[in-house]
Amino acid sequence: MGATTSGQVCGPSGQVSVPSVKASAAEEVECCPITIVNTSLTIPLLRATEGRKYCVLCTKEKKRNKTIWKCESCNVALCITADRNCYKEWHKKKREPGQAAP
């Protein structure tokens, strides 16, 4: 049975309503971008390069971009830069009905 989570939303009249959203058991762990390497254990000069992996979405598009980011629950390396946001695209495709995760 799914868990229920609540959040407060302020309505147009200033009243607060509390919507309920049911989450399935598979969605209990939230997707959140984290660094691949524990930065507290890394030498500051190497933080941007140590442990970089190829972005899963870029690799499917025949690009070879390395990233320090991964999704905490999906455990896949995904880019988050000013030029591209593979993290967002990956999860958008993952949520589309009838689509398997890329």
Task: Output the pLDDT for position 39.
Answer: 76
Residue carrying structure tokens 């589309």: 96
Considering its fold, how many domains does the chain have in total? Answer: 1
The pTM assigned to this predicted structure is 0.61
Residue identified by tokens 């030029």 is 83
Is 53 contained in some domain? yes
In a domain, 19, yes or no: no
Give the pLDDT mean for 18-40: 65
If you search the block for the tokens 């959040």, which residue do you land on? 7
Convert the pLDDT of each residue in 39-61 to its tens digit. Answer: 777 788 877 778 899 999 999 99
Token look-up 């591209």 returns 84
Is 52 inside any structural domain?
yes
Name, in order, each residue with C-beta under 8 angstroms of 32's C-beta and a sequence gap of 6 or more: 71, 72, 73
Question: Could you give the 3-state DSSP secondary structure of residue 100?
Answer: coil
Domain assignment of residue 23, yes or no: no
Domain enclosing residue 90, as ranges: 29-95
Amino acid identity, position 81: T
Is residue 90 assigned to a domain?
yes
* CB-count burial class (<10 Å; 0-12, 13-18, 19+) for 90: buried
Q: What was the pLDDT predicted at 101?
A: 56
